[in-house]
Amino acid sequence: MNKYEALFIINPNVEEAGIKELIEKFSTLINSNGKVESVEEIGRKKLAYPVKKNLEGFYALINFESDGTIISELERNFRITDEVIKFIVIKKDKN
């Protein structure tokens, strides 16, 4: 099992309940073929440049373990979710 982290930015117009729902949705997806280690709601931050006409966004970070097969499905779900304006999934070093 490899360790990964998924950082995603949610549209700032989404309500607090919607943000919790999205984080739960992605955590459940990861848990289907891996294990979520931690979820960190970083909060609302100003973006360095406009993304989809937004100047700020809500940042969320999920650290998890998986064998790697779930990554493409997770990224597909990030892409088709309209509330997610930007995302990145990174494989962590074993150190």
User: What would the pLDDT profile of 50-73 be if each residue is shown by its tens digit?
Assistant: 999 999 999 999 999 998 889 999
pTM of the model: 0.89
Domain assignments of the chain as residue spans, ordered by start = 2-91
- The 3-state secondary structure of 59-84, one letter per residue: EEEEEEEECCCCHHHHHHHHHHCCCE
Reduce the DSSP state of residue 13 to 3 states and report it: coil
What is the distance in angstroms between the CA of the first residue and the CA of the last residue of the chain? 14
Per-residue model confidence as pLDDT tens digits over 40-49: 999 999 999 9
Closest by CA to 27, choosing from 79, 83, 77, is 77
Closest by CA to 51, choosing from 8, 5, 6, 4, is 8
Spatial separation of the C-alpha atoms in residues 91 and 71, rounded to whole Å: 10
Report domain 2-91's class: alpha beta
